[in-house]
A and B are shown apart, each in its own frame.
Chain A
Amino acid sequence: MISINDSSEFESMKMRSVGLNAWFGAKQALKDINVAVKANAVTAIIGPSGCGKSTLIRCFNRMHELVPGAKTSGQVLLDGKDIYSGDIDPVMIRRRVGMVFQKPNPFPTMSIYDNVAAGLKLTGMKKGKNLDEVVRRSLEQATLWEEVKNDLNNPGTSISGGQQQRLCIARAIALQPEVILMDEPCSALDPIATARIEELVVQLKNQYTVVIVTHNMQQAARVSDFTAFMYLGRLIEFGDTSSVFENPRSELTEKYITGKFG
């Protein structure tokens, strides 16, 4: 495994895990993960099914613990503060570290507008000019505004799959998170919708820190600045994306990204 503990930059990263382990009941899904996520960059996590990619990002916003029987040990630091320490409210962590899922999941009974506004309303924001402004800004940042600006009261599920995924990104952005976690956000989308999301991911890093789990090697190569390769719950290699895809240091990484196993 390539350790990044020695990196002088490691301490100043937006997020990092230190000796992170995670379990589903007796089954250990993550083993001693030390990985760092740089601010305003896209970090891709790749690896074969079951390697722990999704579990890792779910530990990054404390969603893993919502699964019955799930537990973690070790640390996940957000701006240097352990998000698992006793005085931390997990709900606040999930506001600061948003998540976009594999399948677009707009709230089915809500309009496009309300889908974006839902999180803000839960935080106490009332309907009005300010809310309208946040909804518009979020949809603009998700590059969806021009396509839906005249249909804001239509159901969130009335738009295409690719648009629904951008709506979910707008919903995450509305809460002004610092980090956006994306768990295979394009796996249910066609190539055109995928290209839109990829363009969006690259734009988003100007304002947010992005971590994306993907099965698509070329997608990781296209959109990310850093790539982590995981296998059997361990971090095998971490580095800048061009190095990982041109000249990986680990033979396992080489075999996986060239399609020789996995």
Chain B
Amino acid sequence: MHRLLDTGLEQLTTMVHKMGEVAEKTLATSIGGFVKGRDTSEGVHELSEMLVSMTVEVEEKAFGLIAKYQPVASDLRIINSYMKVAYDFERYGRYAWDISFISKRMGKLENCEEWIPQYIGDMGEKVLQMVKISINSLKSLDTELAKSVTKTEQEVDDMYFQYLGKLVEQSGATNQCTISSILVVRYLERIADHATYVAEAVVYIATGQKITLR
């Protein structure tokens, strides 16, 4: 039985999935640019702003559906979760912009010790992997896939703290490199957190269970 609400939910789902694609592209561009020393700030900024606008559209659509149809049960869970997920995608965009801005403002990693670009590149790969999992699990509502972010999130957290430790103990990195890379690994760690929030939302939509995957 097709309900009036279904049309609105389908539109909202399409909007959120599209946001996921834009968010993934934004992050991949930003992280790749930072590691490879390319200035991506202009393009990433545009994409980040697009994500801000899309978040507002998702919120307005969600509020409209709540006001019109007073959804309950799985319908309400989907709408509530999509609003949260839209915010997480917006944050992906914001951190992507921060990373590309830092690269532009503070300089590239080419002046850092050799291990640093490699380390950040590896960490960025893991974070992008989590972002992809979060977006793909949302599209398929695959709870097992969503739960798989936990392992990588732990690895990203470990890498974050290991990086700080290595900088203090071993590195002769320049101040510029230190500041720039610390900010970026921090942003990467936060992106990983948001990927986990998206995965938690997937589990909530699919099962109604509020779980923590961190």
B1 contacts A247, C-beta separation under 8 Å: no
B72 contacts A217, C-beta separation under 8 Å: yes
**B204 → A minimal CB distance (Å):** 9
B77 contacts A260, C-beta separation under 8 Å: no
- Taking CB as reference atom, which chain A residue is nearest B208? A247
CA distance A217 to B72 in the complex (A): 9
CB contacts (< 8 Å) of B1 on chain A: these are 259-261
Task: Please tell me if B102 contacts chain A, counting CB pairs below 8 Å.
Answer: no
CA distance A19 to B1 in the complex (A): 34
- What DSSP secondary structure best describes chain A's contact surface? helix
Out of A217, A259, A261, name the residue touching B5 (CB < 8 Å): A259
**A228 → B minimal CB distance (Å):** 16
CA distance A253 to B74 in the complex (A): 11
CA distance A217 to B70 in the complex (A): 9
Out of B3, B70, B76, B208, name the residue touching A260 (CB < 8 Å): B3
CA distance A220 to B7 in the complex (A): 25
- Taking CB as reference atom, which chain A residue is nearest B75? A258
Out of A217, A221, A254, name the residue touching B74 (CB < 8 Å): A254
For the side of the interface on B, what is the size category? Answer: 10 to 19
Task: Please tell me if A48 contacts chain B, counting CB pairs below 8 Å.
Answer: no
Task: Please tell me if B73 contacts chain A, counting CB pairs below 8 Å.
Answer: yes
CB contacts (< 8 Å) of B75 on chain A: these are 258
CA distance A254 to B73 in the complex (A): 6
**A60 → B minimal CB distance (Å):** 26
Task: Please tell me if B64 contacts chain A, counting CB pairs below 8 Å.
Answer: no
Task: Please tell me if B71 contacts chain A, counting CB pairs below 8 Å.
Answer: yes
**A260 → B minimal CB distance (Å):** 6
For the side of the interface on A, what is the size category? Answer: 10 to 19
Q: What 0/1 pattern do residues 70 to 95 of B give for CB contact below 8 A with A?
A: 11111111000000000000000000
Task: Please tell me if A245 contacts chain B, counting CB pairs below 8 Å.
Answer: yes
CB contacts (< 8 Å) of B73 on chain A: these are 245-248, 253-254, 257-258
CA distance A193 to B198 in the complex (A): 43
**B134 → A minimal CB distance (Å):** 22
- Taking CB as reference atom, which chain A residue is nearest B5? A259
CA distance A247 to B204 in the complex (A): 10
CA distance A253 to B73 in the complex (A): 9
Task: Please tell me if A218 contacts chain B, counting CB pairs below 8 Å.
Answer: yes
B72 contacts A245, C-beta separation under 8 Å: yes
CA distance A246 to B75 in the complex (A): 9
CA distance A73 to B5 in the complex (A): 42
**A165 → B minimal CB distance (Å):** 23
Out of B3, B5, B72, name the residue touching A221 (CB < 8 Å): B72
**B208 → A minimal CB distance (Å):** 3
In the complex, chain A residues 210-262 whose Cβ is within 8 Å of any chain B Cβ:
217-218, 221, 245-248, 253-254, 257-261
A218 contacts B3, C-beta separation under 8 Å: no
Known: A217-B72, A247-B208. A259 touches B3 (CB 8 A): yes
CB contacts (< 8 Å) of A254 on chain B: these are 73-74
CA distance A217 to B75 in the complex (A): 14
Given A247-B208, A253-B73, A259-B1, 9 new contacts (CB under 8 A): A221-B72, A246-B72, A246-B77, A247-B73, A257-B72, A258-B71, A259-B3, A260-B1, A261-B1
11 pairs, A vs B, C-beta closer than 8 Å: A217-B70, A221-B72, A246-B72, A246-B73, A246-B208, A257-B72, A258-B3, A258-B71, A258-B75, A259-B1, A261-B1
**What 10 pairs between A and B have smallest CB-CB spacing?**
A247-B208, A245-B72, A218-B70, A257-B72, A254-B73, A258-B73, A258-B75, A259-B3, A257-B73, A248-B73
